[in-house]
Every structure is written in C-alpha cells, then in structure tokens.
C-alpha cells in the first residue's frame, strides 16, 4: 500500500514549556527536518498535515498542506490525537520537551534569590500514547508509526530500544552531535531501522533528499504491514 491511500501526519520543530509569562524550556529543533518530510509527503500522500512547534514563519509560509501550530508537548499530543485516523501514518520528527515545569508562574518570577530550583515533571510520550491507542482499538490497527531518535552516542543501541519500547514500525536515528546532521542544519545523516529487522544507512544528504528516502522506507513498511494484516 502506498502513501497515496494514506493521511500523513508529520510533526516537526521543538515544543516550549513555559516557566512564567516570559521564560520557557525548549530545545534546538528548527522544524527543518519535519518540513522536508511534510513537503515530500504532500507530493505522495492523499492528505498531509504538518503539526509544528514554534518555528520561523518563513519555514511554513505558502505551503500547500494544512499546518497546525502548537506550543507545548501536551498541546502536541492533543493535536496528534485530533488528527489521528485509521489510515494515518505518523512521522514524529518533532523534538517534544520530555519535561515541563511542575508549576507555571502566572507572573514574571523576580530574580531575588541566589538560587532558583525548578521542579520538572515528565511530559506524556506521544508515540507511546498513539501506539497504545492502536493496540487497544482494532480500527486503528493499520496506523503506521515512524519515530526519530536524536542521539549523540550508542546510536544503534538507543534507536533499537526506542523502536521496541515505543512499539514503532520504524525509527530514523540521527547523530545530533555532528555539525552536519540533526538540529538546525540543512543536511542530515540518518539510519533507518524497521520493525522487521531491516536497516538502511543513508549518506549525508539534504534534509529533503533524506525525507524522500525515509518515505520510501515508510512505503515499503506499509506494504509489509498491509500484507501481514491481510494474512
Ligand atoms: O528540526 P531540525 O532542526 O531540522 O532538527 C531535526 C531533529 C534533530 C529534531 C529530528 O531529526 C529529530 O531527531 N527529531 C526527534 C527528536 C527527539 O525528540 O528525539 P528523542 O530521541 O528524544 O525522541 C524519540 C522519539 O519520540 C521522537 O520521534 C520524538 O518525536 C518522540 N517523542 C519524544 C518525546 C515525547 N514526549 N513524545 C514523543 O513522541
């Protein structure tokens, strides 16, 4: 089964978690990888929606698919659940903040003390949540889940652990410690691991070319998944 029969939900960019009205916790994601995937999905899929955190407005100016702007990881989860459909392919290139401040101050925190302790609580895991919706609801059994792993060391080990623990169909690992891959740059180096054990090492390429090769892997994975569901 190819993407032309599918709705593709791509997430990209960071999430931000407010500490007070002027300060937040976030990360270095710019949304470039997610945008490249959404651009490529729009060429192939029946429908594409790009759910993104705060990114530069030029990134999404004039795109011809639907976009949804979110801020926090909890908002990202709600937006993904709102778009989820039985024929969905979810590609999670976003970098959601794993933790958020336990309390958001309604007013600007004054810098009176020498030390300020910030207590963080864990955010929900979006991929795990969608995987559990899929596992308990047969109507969503055909949903395809593609994750990313942003790692600086033990790339293969950590990626395979995430593939298994998040119950994904595939995972794309990028070495975010490199200056020509991962956050912010226009190029990436990705290795794709499929649920069935296949692996595909992609060379240094533009994020758009990387996106195209990743969606080739999604289409192969979809074909296998559909055959398995039918047998
Ligand atoms: O945006 P760019 O500047 O172009 O950079 C691209 C990128 C480096 C952000 C991208 O290629 C990438 O690696 N995205 C995933 C970043 C990330 O959150 O990785 P992780 O290893 O911490 O998380 C593993 C997977 O779980 C990811 O698919 C992530 O989207 C997902 N996740 C994470 C946290 C959370 N609460 N819920 C999730 O579903």
Closest ligand 1 atom to the C-alpha of 27? 9
pLDDT tens-digit map of 64-112: 999 999 999 999 999 999 999 999 999 999 999 999 999 999 999 999 8
Does pLDDT of 180 surpass 70? yes
Closest C-alpha residue for ligand 1 atom 8: 182
pLDDT band at 1 (very low <50, low <70, confident <90, very high): low
| Centre of ligand 1 from the C-alpha of residue 94, in Å | 5
pLDDT at 227: 79
**What CATH number is given to the structural domain containing 112?**
3.40.50.10300
pLDDT at 89: 98
pLDDT at 216: 98
Mutation test residue for ligand 1: of 93, 98, 158, the one with most atoms within 8 Å of CB: 93
Nearest to 142 by CA among 90, 85, 196, 87: 87
Average pLDDT, the chain: 96
Closest C-alpha residue for ligand 1 atom 13: 150
Pocket around ligand 1 at a 6 A CB cut-off: 12-13, 29-34, 73, 92-96, 98, 123, 125-127, 147-150, 162, 174, 176, 182-184
Q: Which residue has the tokens 């395809």?
A: 144
Number of domains observed in the structure of the chain: 1
Average pLDDT over residues 61-66: 96
Active site (catalytic) residues: 27
pLDDT at 229: 72
| 35 vs 188: CA distance, rounded Å | 13
pLDDT at 226: 79
Does pLDDT of 228 surpass 80? no
| 175 vs 188: CA distance, rounded Å | 9
- Give ∠ CA 88-150-173 in degrees, rounded to 5: 65
Does pLDDT of 231 surpass 80? no
pLDDT at 160: 98
| 118 vs 226: CA distance, rounded Å | 47
Task: Kindly write down the DSSP assignment for every residue of 39-83, as one continuous string.
Answer: HHHHHHSSEEEEEE-S--HHHHTT-SSEEEE--SHHHHHHHHHHH
Tell me which of 39-48, 111-120, 123-132, 143-152 is least confident.
111-120
Instruction: Let me know: does 191 contact 173? Beta carbons within 8 Å.
Output: yes
| Centre of ligand 1 from the C-alpha of residue 61, in Å | 23
| Centre of ligand 1 from the C-alpha of residue 23, in Å | 22
| Centre of ligand 1 from the C-alpha of residue 118, in Å | 23
Q: Which structural domain, as residue segments, surrounds residue 179? A: 3-230
pLDDT tens-digit map of 8-59: 999 999 999 999 999 999 999 999 999 999 999 999 999 999 999 999 999 9
Average pLDDT over residues 138-150: 97
| 91 vs 39: CA distance, rounded Å | 13
Average pLDDT over residues 187-211: 97
């Amino acid at each position: 089964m190819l993407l032309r029969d599918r709705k593709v939900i791509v997430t990209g960019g960071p999430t931000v978690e407010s500490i007070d009205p002027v300060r937040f916790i976030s990360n270095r994601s710019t949304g470039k990888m997610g945008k490249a995937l959404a651009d490529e999905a729009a060429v192939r899929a029946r429908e594409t929606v790009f759910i993104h955190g705060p990114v530069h407005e030029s990134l999404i100016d004039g795109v011809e698919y639907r976009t949804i702007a979110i801020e926090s990881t909890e908002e990202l989860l709600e937006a993904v659940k709102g778009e989820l459909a039985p024929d969905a392919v979810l590609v999670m290139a976003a970098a959601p903040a794993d933790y958020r401040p336990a309390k958001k101050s309604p007013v600007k925190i004054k810098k009176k003390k020498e030390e300020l302790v910030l207590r963080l609580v864990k955010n929900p895991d979006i991929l795990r949540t969608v995987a559990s919706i899929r596992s308990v609801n047969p109507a969503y059994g055909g949903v395809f889940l593609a994750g990313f792993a942003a790692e600086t060391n033990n790339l293969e080990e950590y990626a395979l652990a995430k593939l298994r623990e998040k119950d994904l169909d595939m995972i794309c690992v990028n070495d975010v410690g490199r200056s020509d891959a991962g956050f912010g740059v226009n190029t990436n180096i990705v290795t794709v691991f499929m649920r069935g054990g296949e692996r595909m090492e992609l060379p240094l390429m533009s994020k758009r070319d990387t996106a195209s090769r990743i969606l080739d892997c999604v289409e192969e994975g979809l074909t296998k998944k559909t055959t398995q569901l039918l047998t």
